[in-house]
Structure 1
Amino acid sequence: MAQFCISFPPPSYQELFDQIKHLKPDFSKLKNLIPLIGLPIPIYIDISQYSNEISQMIQYWQSRLSVKTLMAMIRPMASLLGQSLADLLPKIPFLNISIIELMEMDANVLKQRVKDALDRYGQAFLDALSAFLPLPIYFGLSIPSFEINAMIKALYNMCTSGLMELVTNLIDQVLSKLKINAVLTLPKLPTLKELQTMIIEMIKAKAEAIAGQVIDAFTNEFEAIQHAMQILKMDINAIFAMIQFPQLPAMKFPSPFYPDFSCLAFELREAMQMYMQAMMMAVMEKIVSFVKAVLSILNIQFPSICIDIPDKLDIPDNPNGTEYF
Structure 2
Amino acid sequence: MANKKRILITGAAGFLGSHLCERFIKEGMHVIAMDNLITGDLRNIEHLFKHPDFEFYHHDVSNFVHVSGQLDYILHFASPASPIDYLKIPIQTLKVGSLGIHNLLGLARDKKSRILIASTSEVYGDPLVHPQTEEYYGNVNPIGPRGVYDEAKRFQEAMTMAYHTYHKVDTRILRIFNTYGPRMRLNDGRVLPAFIGQALRGEDLTVFGDGSQTRSFCYVDDQVEGIYRLLMSDYHLPVNIGNPDEITILQFAEEIIKLTGTDQKIIFKELPKDDPKQRQPDITLAKSLLGWTPKVSRAEGLKITYEYFKTLPTEVLYQREHKDFDKYIR
Structure 2-normalised TM-score? 0.27
* Bigger relative CO (Cα 8 Å, ≥ 6 apart): 1
Q: Which has the larger radius of gyration?
A: 1
Q: Which has the higher helix share?
A: 1
Q: Which has the higher strand share?
A: 2
